[in-house]
Amino acid sequence: MANVRALAAEVLYQVVDKGQSLNTQLPLAANKVHGKDKALLQQICYGVLRYLPTLEHYCQQLLEQPLKGKRRVYQFVLYVGMYQLQYMRVPEHAAVAETVAAVESMRAPGLKGLINAILRTFQRQQEELEASANLIPVCQFNHPGWFIKKLQAAYPDTWQDILHENQQQAPMWLRVNQHHYTTAEYSEMLDEDGIEHSVESAYPDGILLDKPCDVFTLPGFREGACSVQDAAAQMAARLLEPQADELILDACAAPGGKTCHILELADAQVHALDADDQRLERVEQNLKRIGLRAECIHADASTPDTWWDNTPYDRILLDVPCSATGVIRRHPDIKWLRRKTDIDDLATLQASILNNIWPLLKPGGTLIYATCSVLPEENTQQVAKFLANNSDAIHHPLHDNDTPEHPGLQLLPGLSDGFYYAKLTKQQ
């Protein structure tokens, strides 16, 4: 079997230096190991990405010069070793020995001495290195500087809380399929199976597990009794309020959790649209597991003239492409793959999709605009601009301070992920 630490270093190199998605690289590496090693691989990869600036700082202090070119991947071996020594419960001797062994498995025995020496020095100097890192804001918060500044501007009182939550392990939420069981009934089934959890009244279909588990250990999972979906994402279908026999568009639908939830709440005719055909397959897989039917359409939401048949929709869920800055704790690579310039580009795309989808909504119909972002440019500013420019768009407040000038509901990472919702109807 492949060396777990060597695989982790390779994954991290592909993500950080080559701009590859962790969602793509991690499963490929996980196929090369078995059992507990899969969990260890994920823990190391997520951990290094969470603390990358701090680990980079340590290497800058300890290496005479960074490893470059063909040796660059071994810089990530050092990050893997240091992460274990500082943040994991691996015995120090084992962390060093296994990391050095990773170098040998990567066919670079000539670097074993260097890796061993750096990790031993790190052990001796760890306290001083930690102290020096804590003086650097990017290391203190382990987020890119541009993102920290945006949060400080948008959330002057809570920006540090958001950064703290982004560094935590994401909670595992279940959505109970009300076709099968009530939330209370499913909670009793979890109790019978000894799966510890809690029920939160704010989320009528949601159950929060005390700790993540294999989905196939959940009662009735294979038969569609429940799905894994964060509490914030569960709000989409509830805010949409689907009714029986309505024609509903779930635009940008992949991977399909919201599509399934709509159909669990109402016997409606749903069109699930997504521009990514591979991700659209996930929608079909989810529908099949739960035993639901929707028409899956492989098309671009921003160009409805290429796929729309001119039949207006009663309701539209528009979960637009976004920076995903509200789900960093689930996808820590977002911090290093996203760029400051991406935000303006995404805001332009979101405005295009919203403006082009709006004509598809029938008079009196409802549109829910959603993102998994915490940035105002993609959320309140986006919807406020749309309301100002479209006299037939009626704003529906989701809380007491939800106004047309500052519209929508912004959820920040905590009990749920960071999400944004705004509710609009079209004038009759």
Q: What is the pLDDT along the chain (428 residues), one digit of tens a residue?
A: 689 999 999 999 999 999 999 999 999 999 999 988 999 999 999 999 999 999 999 999 999 988 999 999 999 999 999 999 999 998 999 999 999 999 999 989 899 999 999 999 999 999 999 999 999 999 999 999 999 999 999 999 999 999 999 999 999 999 999 999 999 999 999 999 999 999 999 999 999 999 999 999 999 999 999 999 999 999 999 999 999 999 999 999 999 999 999 999 999 999 999 999 999 999 999 999 999 999 999 999 999 999 999 999 999 999 999 999 999 999 999 999 999 999 999 999 999 999 999 999 999 999 999 999 999 999 999 999 999 999 999 999 999 999 999 999 999 999 999 999 999 999 99
What CA–CA distances, in Å, run from 7 to 72, 116, 413? 14, 18, 30
**Using one digit for the tens of pLDDT, what is the confidence trace for 138-179?**
999 999 999 999 999 999 999 999 999 999 999 999 999 999
Q: Which of 139, 260, 322, 372 is catalytic?
A: 372
**300 marked as binding residue:** yes
**Strand pairing category for 419-426 and 393-396:** antiparallel
- My answer on whether 191 and 46 are in the same domain is no
The string of DSSP codes covering 57-109 is HHHHHH-SS---GGGHHHHHHHHHHHHHHHHS-S-HHHHHHHHHHHHHHTT-G
- My answer on whether 180 and 93 are in the same domain is no
- My answer on whether 12 and 123 are in the same domain is yes
Query: What's the angle, vertex CA 427, arms to CA 421 and CA 428, rounded to 5?
Result: 135
Among 114, 145, 125, which residue's Cα sits nearest to residue 61?
Answer: 125
CATH number at residue 307: 3.40.50.150
- My answer on whether 178 and 117 are in the same domain is no
7 CB-near residues (< 8 Å, 6+ apart): 29, 32, 33, 41
Q: What is the pLDDT of residue 2?
A: 82
Q: Is 245 helix (H, G, I), strand (E, B) or coil?
A: coil
Is the residue at 193 inside a domain? yes
Is 372 a residue of the active site?
A: yes
**362 marked as binding residue:** no
**170 marked as binding residue:** no
Q: Is 349 helix (H, G, I), strand (E, B) or coil?
A: helix
- My answer on whether 191 and 329 are in the same domain is no
Is the residue at 149 inside a domain? no
Look up residue 155 and give its DSSP letter. Answer: -
Is the residue at 313 inside a domain? yes
**309 marked as binding residue:** no
- Expressed as residue numbers, the domain containing 414 is 239-426
Does residue 192 come out as left (phi exceeding 0), alpha (psi in the -120 to 50 range) or beta? Answer: alpha
- My answer on whether 39 and 109 are in the same domain is yes
Q: What is the pLDDT of residue 26?
A: 97
Is the residue at 9 inside a domain? yes
CATH number at residue 213: 3.30.70.1170
Q: What is the pLDDT of residue 35?
A: 85
Is the residue at 110 inside a domain? yes
- My answer on whether 268 and 314 are in the same domain is yes
What does the alpha-carbon distance between residue 90 and residue 210 come to, in Å, rounded to a whole number? 24
Q: How many CB atoms lie within 10 A of CB 12?
A: 28
- My answer on whether 197 and 253 are in the same domain is no
Among residues 137, 155, 184, the one where a domain terminates is 137
**257 marked as binding residue:** yes
**319 marked as binding residue:** yes
Among 235, 181, 185, 190, which residue's Cα sits nearest to residue 208?
Answer: 190
**376 marked as binding residue:** no
Token duo for residue 19: 């701009």
- My answer on whether 63 and 198 are in the same domain is no
- My answer on whether 123 and 199 are in the same domain is no
- My answer on whether 312 and 373 are in the same domain is yes
Is the residue at 233 inside a domain? no
Amino acid at 219: P
Is the residue at 159 inside a domain? no
- My answer on whether 125 and 181 are in the same domain is no
CATH number at residue 110: 1.10.940.10
**Using one digit for the tens of pLDDT, what is the confidence trace for 286-302?**
999 999 999 999 999 99
Q: Where are the alpha helices (DSSP H) in 206-256?
A: 231-240
Among residues 111, 137, 163, the one where a domain terminates is 137
As for how many domains the chain has, the answer is: 3
Q: Is 308 helix (H, G, I), strand (E, B) or coil?
A: coil
Is the residue at 148 inside a domain? no
**340 marked as binding residue:** no
Among residues 180, 201, 228, the one where a domain terminates is 228
419 CB-near residues (< 8 Å, 6+ apart): 230, 232, 233, 235, 326, 370, 371, 372, 410, 411
